Amino acid sequence: MTELSLSTSSLPARLLRLYTGLALYGAGIGLQIESTLGNDPWDAFHQGLAVRTGWSIGTWIILVGALVMVFWIPLRQKPGIGTISNIVLLGLFADATIWLAPTPSHLAVRTAYLTVAIVLVGFATALYISAGLGPGPRDGLMTGLHRLGLSIRMARTLIEVSVLVTGWLLGGVVGVGTLAFALLIGPCTQVFMRLLKVT
């Protein structure tokens, strides 16, 4: 497999990776929510807001993404086409998956949903990064805090713990799936980045 090169890849190829990545990421979000085994921190937050308002989870993914962009201003972060596409499309793909995928009752099927979700999000993240068209709004918040002096680990931990606890208090589902996502998403993403030779 040839190595992906952001400097030489054509814009159509990079856009294909971007939008494929967003579609798969949204599908992964939808499947993890449908598994009812526990969401990642941000989606526990989105689900909690959905529970409280009656609006769809995808709607809240979009609204929260747009709101997070406000915090980019004092952090002097610059969005790209990937950032804007992330805000607009991720929630739409998540809602479409939640609507299309049957909600399973058997634990084996729910576990399969969760497993596929983690793999999809890992692969989607590698595709999204390889496109090099701008960070997602939530990742940009993390890197912006890093520029203010916080370590990446501390910035990410503060953000994720805050949204996880808030989401849980609002009624978002937190459980074994949350822990599995936290433990496996990093290694899964790294595997796909190596397979795609993304540096």
In a domain, residue 4? The reply is no
In a domain, residue 76? The reply is yes
Task: Domain of residue 79: give its range.
Answer: 11-195
In a domain, residue 5? The reply is no
Q: How far apart are CA 133 and CA 145, in angstroms?
A: 20
In a domain, residue 2? The reply is no
Q: How far apart are CA 90 and CA 94, in angstroms?
A: 6
CA 84 and chain centroid, separation: 14
In a domain, residue 171? The reply is yes
**Contact yes or no for 94/65 (Cβ under 8 A):** no
Q: How far apart are CA 120 and CA 99, in angstroms?
A: 18
In a domain, residue 1? The reply is no
In a domain, residue 83? The reply is yes
Question: Locate tokens 């992906």: which residue?
Answer: 4
pLDDT (tens digit, 0 to 9) for every residue of the chain, 199 residues total?
A: 344 444 457 899 999 999 999 999 999 999 999 999 999 999 999 999 999 999 999 999 999 999 998 888 877 778 899 999 999 999 999 999 999 999 999 999 999 999 999 999 999 999 998 898 988 898 878 777 777 888 867 887 888 999 999 999 999 999 999 999 999 998 998 899 888 876 5
Q: Inter-axis angle of helices 81-100 and 107-131, to 10 degrees?
A: 160
Q: How far apart are CA 101 and CA 117, in angstroms?
A: 12
pTM: 0.90
In a domain, residue 6? The reply is no
Number of compact structural domains in the chain: 1
